[in-house]
Structure 1
């Protein structure tokens, strides 16, 4: 298998990089380089810029705004986006519910939702996990009972990322409790303004408000918001999760983090020498760079094989990418903690002078503040999108035949 890029593909990479250099607002770019979270407005602004260029939804069918790029160009675009770095288009719309609607939704749903998702006119969140139904997602208990032209939904979702901003939520709900648990699940699109929906924040270990609980109390959802067939939602969820796990590899993100690591390790000193010259640190950094290169080669093999894969069928190799990609991302935060040293200890909100009254000068270098919060926050990467333990079971069954 020849994994080298053609001259045309290398030229395409330069085109993408040039567009980012000219069009990504400088303040957003600086925030990304420093490892700080882009705000909602940052993400909306950037996705609208991408959509005007026709690049917001490169993985979609052309008739719904897709680029028509082959898998290699899609890979190059995502790699440049992450390593530049620039904010990704909203994951829950572009890479999750959008492809599901495009693949399994009816024409009315496609015409209404897809243009709005591409332009980020609607902010989406994901309603999959529940208390007691995380890795064993098929055990979910949120019920949807048919009542005329509506489903009446009752239950709870948790770890709902950025749900505080959401206009819509896509949910897995149980519509038949008499069959095998995977066979009684449906995929519903729910307007977050519907009476009976309550969103409660969950404060994460880094002090942020990124995830939420969402409660449904007799929420009436029009039957027209059912995607595909009733009780076939598990098939659509597997399709969605296959896309999510491939993206979770985030090779470009790790490339950028390793570049940043080298820069900072060359600046910070232990004794008379930069940390980068410490033999033990250099050894760990080199080992991580080798692992990342191996992951990149694996992802390119998956991309090359995608041309032959049946449309709509997830590649079980995405589980390999998810496992190793999440481990490498976590390892980069561990090395950054070594570089920042004791300056990781002070806690200060990212936005100085915010409503909490934090107005103290930063302790240590300017770049130190987000290092520890990111380290703690990224412990989640090996859990969300299906825990790494579950991914190993998928590999054993689907790839190794065990």
Structure 2
């Protein structure tokens, strides 16, 4: 008989465990939160995570086996759109760099959705050049005192915790003197202000940090190695944005194709050719994403995720523009321009005009398309790097 903590690699064994969970916690009579907690404790949350942390050390691809069984039984999910940063970015970073105490404290309520997470990375003076960030963290005994400003922070108005990078040593080059923390968003020194977007809503925020105290126990990785830790977060972010598992003709291309079929009076030959091109591009991206996820079963995301995110942004903008052209004047408006504070971005549940405007942000969030092209060129294709005259200068000597 295999040890209790042996990796589970048999799909039938995963089905058996899932059915046992359903038998003990009938979704029809169990509170959703209680069911999600039980699912995590049974190792059926992220099956590829370790025993004791929501998983069974199973191959990542077998998550689909569990998800299918639970969906068929009408089991509740953890509303992943509401906590995308926590699930897609914070969790894999905590798993890789966190202490056992940090994993025990953060992963379970993160996965069940009890605690929402946000990302405090970008700054007004350090967007595309993230390593130039100026938010300071100064050691004070067993704590760090943090002062600075972050921007474009999704979910900050709902978040309990944040992943944060701050400068802890200004005397070394910019990529080195950075440390990675978990920040308590309820600290009195944290101020969250909405940023209204072109869509009319405020899904993003700017966050001001004034004398925020972070215990050293909430540091991820070694002091000064925050850039290394952040690469895990950023690589997972790009996969989460551009490499989601989706059925054929879903997402943006599905909305445009449905409009084409349902509104024959709108069709023109030129738009038909563009729709065909977009459909093929979406299918190529979908299959490439599936291949990337299969590669991830052998390790952590690498720079290849930049290609998926780049393709996602380009397709979303092309297809949303095509949809607006197809609909003509009808495509220029949508029903709600009031200041809304959404918990998640809803591309397919809104009107074409909203999708067109919101898609403009796809080439900025998660790494600008220009930066992603550099990553692909240098780290995937092995092309010569661009000259960087500031690479070896101490951060405090950089022009800002």
Match of 2:178 in 1: 185
Aligned length: 342
Distance in 2 between the 1:51 and 1:200 partners? 32
Match of 1:252 in 2: 246
How far residue 300 of structure 1 moved from its aligned partner, in angstroms, is: 3.1
Match of 1:35 in 2: none
Match of 2:358 in 1: 377
Match of 1:298 in 2: 288
Distance in 2 between the 1:47 and 1:133 partners? 39
In 2 relative to 1, CA 369–125 (structure 1 residues): closer, same or farther, beyond 3 Å? closer
How far residue 269 of structure 1 moved from its aligned partner, in angstroms, is: 4.4
Structure 2: segments with no counterpart, 5+ residues: 1-10, 71-76, 341-347, 384-400
Matched position secondary structure for 1:144: strand
In 2 relative to 1, CA 155–116 (structure 1 residues): closer, same or farther, beyond 3 Å? same
When structure 1 is superposed on structure 2, of 316-325 and 336-345 the one drifting more is 336-345
- Does structure 2 retain, via aligned residues, the 8 Å contact 1:160–1:211? yes
The Cα RMSD (Å) is: 3.4
Kindly provide the CA deviation profile for residues 249-291 of structure 1, in whole angstroms up to 9, marking residues without a partner as x: 1462862332332222222243xxxx3x532222111111111
In 2 relative to 1, CA 263–76 (structure 1 residues): closer, same or farther, beyond 3 Å? farther
Match of 1:33 in 2: none
Distance in 2 between the 1:220 and 1:49 partners? 35
Provide the TM-score with structure 1 as the length reference: 0.75
In 2 relative to 1, CA 288–62 (structure 1 residues): closer, same or farther, beyond 3 Å? farther
Structure 1: segments with no counterpart, 5+ residues: 1-7, 25-44, 355-366
Kindly provide the CA deviation profile for residues 326-379 of structure 1, in whole angstroms up to 9, marking residues without a partner as x: 211222212221333212334531799x9xxxxxxxxxxxx9962212211121
What pairs up with 1:224-239 in 2 under 5 angstroms?
A: 224-239=217-232
Please state which structure has a larger fraction of its residues in helix: 1
- Does structure 2 retain, via aligned residues, the 8 Å contact 1:105–1:227? yes
Provide the TM-score with structure 2 as the length reference: 0.76
Distance in 2 between the 1:134 and 1:320 partners? 19
What pairs up with 1:134-173 in 2 under 5 angstroms?
A: 134-173=127-166
Q: Does 1:222 align with 2:215?
A: yes
When structure 1 is superposed on structure 2, of 189-198 and 150-159 the one drifting more is 189-198
Kindly provide the CA deviation profile for residues 100-131 of structure 1, in whole angstroms up to 9, marking residues without a partner as x: 11111111111111111011111111000000
Q: Does 1:64 align with 2:53?
A: yes
Matched position secondary structure for 1:216: strand
Match of 2:85 in 1: 92
Match of 2:395 in 1: none
Match of 2:234 in 1: 241
Distance in 2 between the 1:318 and 1:76 partners? 24
Match of 1:321 in 2: 308
How far residue 177 of structure 1 moved from its aligned partner, in angstroms, is: 0.8
Kindly provide the CA deviation profile for residues 170-206 of structure 1, in whole angstroms up to 9, marking residues without a partner as x: 1000011111111111111111111211111110100
Q: Does 1:388 align with 2:369?
A: yes
- Does structure 2 retain, via aligned residues, the 8 Å contact 1:144–1:153? yes
In 2 relative to 1, CA 396–76 (structure 1 residues): closer, same or farther, beyond 3 Å? farther
- Does structure 1 retain, via aligned residues, the 8 Å contact 2:246–2:286? no
Matched position secondary structure for 1:134: coil
What pairs up with 1:249-288 in 2 under 5 angstroms?
A: 249=242, 250=244, 252=246, 255-270=250-265, 275=266, 277-288=267-278
Match of 2:197 in 1: 204
